[in-house]
Amino acid sequence: MLNKIKRIKEEIGNFRIIDHAELEEFRLKYLSKKGHLNALFEEFKTVAIEQKKEVGQQLNDLKILLSGAYERFKGELDSRRKVETSNDLTRPGDSIPLGSRHPISVVCNEICDIFNRLGYTVAEGPEIEDDWHVFSALNFPPEHPARDMQDTFFVTKNPDRVLRTHTSSVQVRVMESTPPPIRMIMPGRVFRNEVISARSHCIFHQVEGLYIDREVSFADLKQTLMFFAREMFGEETRIRLRPSFFPFTEPSAEMDVSCTCNGKGCNLCKHSGWLEIMGCGMVDPNVLENCGIDPCEYSGFAFGMGIERIAMLKFETRDIRMYFENDVRFLQQFTSAL
Ligand code: DAH
């Protein structure tokens, strides 16, 4: 048996393989069920006990040698094929799979589009802001408890620099730099010191809206938001305004849209039939004054909504964290929304 093993080892040393047919021949001859290696293992059972150790070792060596040779031959064939095909300059190129827009961008663009049709233009502001634009100008005095609603990341204390907690800071910048009439929509990223969970994140996105002109009334606000809700969620959508409080609007309201279950009861609206989507109100005269606009001459309304919240309602996702994990399996589902 030792002789047989030796002979096969020599054979392998001289083996040359030209194509896949020969590779298969090699496999059948040595490595298949009916090949030499298996036959030798069968024969091994009959070897005398005192020889088992030596023969067993040789047999195992042979096994490693044969499977190593097979892999090597296969590798050589594959790389030869690669060289041959890569030299073929007439072959078509490898296609690059097309990505898709992030669902938050999709929803943000849709919101901006709707307001563009009402004559709103887009404005942007810095993510690292000062206290004045995020809080003071918006009627949150220092030390006022209203600041507790938005737990803030402070970057430096003096001069004060914070990560903006809402896009309302851009309202202030717009009013400071633009004489009325103003009709602007302000999308952007905002930051709050929140525990990350299925419902909240320390980073999210908002779209802010601002309309300032002579004789703007609450009826204008309601009509504008109703138009938006119907464009965004469908013709049948109804809206509801509930009294609320924001330091920078007076009066203030939260807006709900009717749930598609029509109040019949679903998990999303928790059987209430309504989904809260944004805060809004008439811009407080103090805020207008802070930004250099005469409140006796001008009035206006503002609103702000969370993009993740709208995306979660639209795409029926239950966990806000999905929008930040960049898991391609999640993101790929939005290719149709390009
Ligand atoms: N800034 C508010 C928030 O982040 C949302 C908001 C409410 C914006 C009312 C507004 C507004 O412009 O008028 O909770």
Residue ranges of domains in the chain: 2-86, 103-337
Report how far ligand 1's centroid is from the alpha carbon of 185 (Å).
Answer: 13
Q: Ligand 1 in contact with 103 (CB < 6 A)?
A: no
Please provide the distance, in angstroms rounded to a whole number, between the alpha carbons at the two ends of the chain: 69
The reply to whether ligand 1 has any atom less than 6 angstroms from the CB of 188 is no
pLDDT of residue 21: 87
The predicted pLDDT at position 336 comes to 57
Q: Left, alpha or beta for 139 (phi > 0: left; psi -120 to 50: alpha)? A: left
Q: What is the pLDDT of residue 44?
A: 92
User: What type of residue is 132?
Assistant: W
**With a 6 A CB cut-off, is 273 part of the ligand 1 pocket?**
no
Selection from 151, 265, 129, 246 nearest residue 200 by Cα: 151
- Does the beta carbon of 303 lie inside 6 Å of ligand 1? yes
Q: How far is CA 166 from CA 25, 134, 135, 189, in A?
A: 71, 7, 10, 8
Which residues, in sequence order, are CB contacts of 262 under 8 Å at separation 6+? 273
Any ligand 1 atom below 6 A from CB of 300:
no
d(CA 294, CA 288): 7
pLDDT for 94 equals 83
pLDDT of residue 56: 92
**Residue-level pLDDT at 199:** 85
**Segments in 93-244 forming alpha helices (H):** 103-117, 131-134, 168-177, 218-233
Question: Within 10 Å of residue 21's Cβ, how many Cβ atoms?
Answer: 9
For a substitution probing ligand 1, which of 170, 200, 303, 309 has the most ligand atoms within 8 Å of its CB?
303
Determine if ligand 1 sits within 6 Å of the CB of residue 211: no
- Which atom of ligand 1 has the smallest separation from the CA of 167? 1
Within 13 Å and on the Cβ side, how many CA atoms surround 225?
Answer: 31
Output the CA 280–ligand 1 centroid distance in Å. 6
Which residues of the chain are modeled with pLDDT < 50? 338
Cβ atoms of residues 122 and 187 within 8 Å? yes
Task: Give me the pLDDT at residue 245, please.
Answer: 95
Q: Compute CA distances 76 → 54, 79, 85, 242, whole Å.
A: 33, 5, 14, 73
**CA 305–ligand 1 middle distance (angstroms):** 7
Q: Check residue 260 and give its pLDDT.
A: 80
CATH architecture of 103-337: 2-Layer Sandwich (3.30)
Write out pLDDT tens, residues 60-97.
999 998 999 899 888 888 887 777 666 778 888 888 88
Residues whose CB is less than 8 angstroms from the CB of residue 312 and which lie 6 or more positions away in sequence, other chains included: 318, 320
With a 6 A CB cut-off, is 147 part of the ligand 1 pocket? Answer: no
Compute, in angstroms, the gap from residue 302 CA to the centroid of ligand 1: 8
> In degrees rounded to 5, what are phi and psi of residue 182?
-125, 130
Q: Which atom of ligand 1 is nearest to the CA of 206?
A: 4
Ligand 1 close to Cβ of residue 216 (< 6 A): no
Pocket test for ligand 1, best of 115, 166, 200, 250 (most atoms within 8 A of CB): 166
C-beta 302 within 6 A of ligand 1: yes
**Is pTM, for the whole model, over 0.85?**
no
30: Cα separation from own chain's centroid: 52
Pairing of strands 121-122, 182-191: parallel
| Token digits of residue 18 | 């030209």
- Nearest ligand 1 atom to the CA of 301 is 13
Whether 138 contacts 247, CB under 8 Å? yes
State the DSSP code for 180: S
For ligand 1, atom 12, the nearest C-alpha belongs to: 303
Distance, in Å, from the CA atom of 141 to the CA atom of 148, rounded to the nearest integer, reads 12
Residue 249 CA, closest ligand 1 atom number? 13
Distance 119 CA to ligand 1 centre (A): 21
